[in-house]
Amino acid sequence: MTALKQFQRIEATGLWRPSPDVQRREVVVSIGEATLTISDFNDRALTHWSLAALERQNPGVFPAIYHPDGDPQETLELAQSETTMIEAIDRLQRAIDWSRPHPGRLRWFSVAGVVAAVAALMLLWLPSALQNHVVSVVPEIKRIDIGDTILRRIERVSGRACVSEGTQEALDHLAARTGVRAIVILPAGVQTSLTLPGGIVLLNRSLVEDHEDPSVVAGYILAERARAQAQDPLDDLLDRTGIRSAFRLLTTGELTPQIVDSYTEEVLSEPRPAVPDENLLEIFAEAALPSVPFAYATDVTGETVLGLIEADPMAGQPLQQILPDREWVRLQNICGG
């Protein structure tokens, strides 16, 4: 058998010279499983060369001249007509070369693997780690400043926040009752409600004008609290505007108008994310507020909010007044009725 499984035997004639001072002689060359055998015409083996230690002196030139590795004095010449033998030797040399250890190649693969790992770390871990760090180090006063900046940008679209005589006290009471820092009512812009960095909750005027029960607007504020607990509003801003925003905020303490505009346009065009019933009910229970009015305000049929209706934490319990009637009436007219 030969080293090439498709051939039972490969033979050729060639010119062999054991040393430069000896005349070349015609021989028979055959390939075995691991050796190249050089024989005379009486089938007597003259020498055996290891296929793994066979080298060609003149690649691409004919006659092809071969010698054992480390001994270029002993040569074998194969004429161009011995195509099968020459191609077989070339194939075997390539296969042997491929199977040999390649320290340089291993080093290259090792370096490439390290580079790929570092790149993956930079792309996958670093942005998240940087964003989390920024969210954790930005002080509250800066968050309030960012929230005020976003509010001013929204007011360019929605119109200025609604203000009327005696309503600020009512807004402050409602904020204290629902556990948020500040409440702003807008004539348009927000679809229902939105929490900005710094604890500013924006409400659409319809939430106070279209409902007789202040528990409804209080419910929307509590829903914003639940969303803010699930994801910090500043974290949401950086999620939407990318790692450059996080890096800029960390290094300069500021966000560009373009970043603010990009966030504002995106967040105002999307519905508010849903909050799991268990999270909402926990917030309602903590604030001692009923969940049923909010549930029916979001779905008048009650079908999609059945959990909030059936598990109302204040069911059958006495309710504390959310706002005095006079303050609630003032809020209902804060945007001019």
Q: Is the pLDDT of residue 7 over 70?
A: no
Q: Is the pLDDT of residue 8 over 60?
A: no
What's the whole-number average pLDDT of the chain?
87
**Whole-number pLDDT of residue 108:** 60
Residues 6+ apart with CB under 8 A from 284: 219, 222, 290, 291, 294, 312, 313, 314
pLDDT tier for residue 125 given thresholds of 50, 70 and 90? low
**27, 28, 74, 80: which is closest to 55 by C-alpha?**
74
The single-letter DSSP state of residue 125 is I
Q: Which of 83-97, 101-115, 164-178 has the lowest mean pLDDT?
A: 101-115
Q: Give the whole-angstrom CA distance, residue 170 versus residue 190.
A: 21
pLDDT tier for residue 303 given thresholds of 50, 70 and 90? very high
**232, 233, 185: which is closest to 210 by C-alpha?**
185
Q: Which of 49-53, 155-159, 236-240 has the lowest mean pLDDT?
A: 49-53
**How much is the average pLDDT of 178-194?**
94
pLDDT tier for residue 288 given thresholds of 50, 70 and 90? very high
Q: Is the pLDDT of residue 206 over 70?
A: yes
Q: Is the pLDDT of residue 175 over 90?
A: yes
**Whole-number pLDDT of residue 121:** 53
> Each residue of 150-183: b (16+ CB within 10 Å) or e?
bbebbeeebeebbeeeebeebbebbbebbebebb
Token couple for 91: 């194939």
**Whole-number pLDDT of residue 87:** 87
pLDDT tier for residue 1 given thresholds of 50, 70 and 90? very low
**Whole-number pLDDT of residue 3:** 46
Q: Is the pLDDT of residue 2 over 70?
A: no
Contact 229, 207 (CB under 8 A): no
Q: Is the pLDDT of residue 102 over 70?
A: no
Highest mean pLDDT (candidates 65-79, 117-131, 211-225, 315-329): 211-225
**Whole-number pLDDT of residue 110:** 63
pLDDT tier for residue 111 given thresholds of 50, 70 and 90? low
pLDDT tier for residue 4 given thresholds of 50, 70 and 90? low
**How much is the average pLDDT of 241-256?**
88
The single-letter DSSP state of residue 71 is -
Beta bridge partners of 47: 38
Q: Give the whole-angstrom CA distance, residue 135 versus residue 29.
A: 77
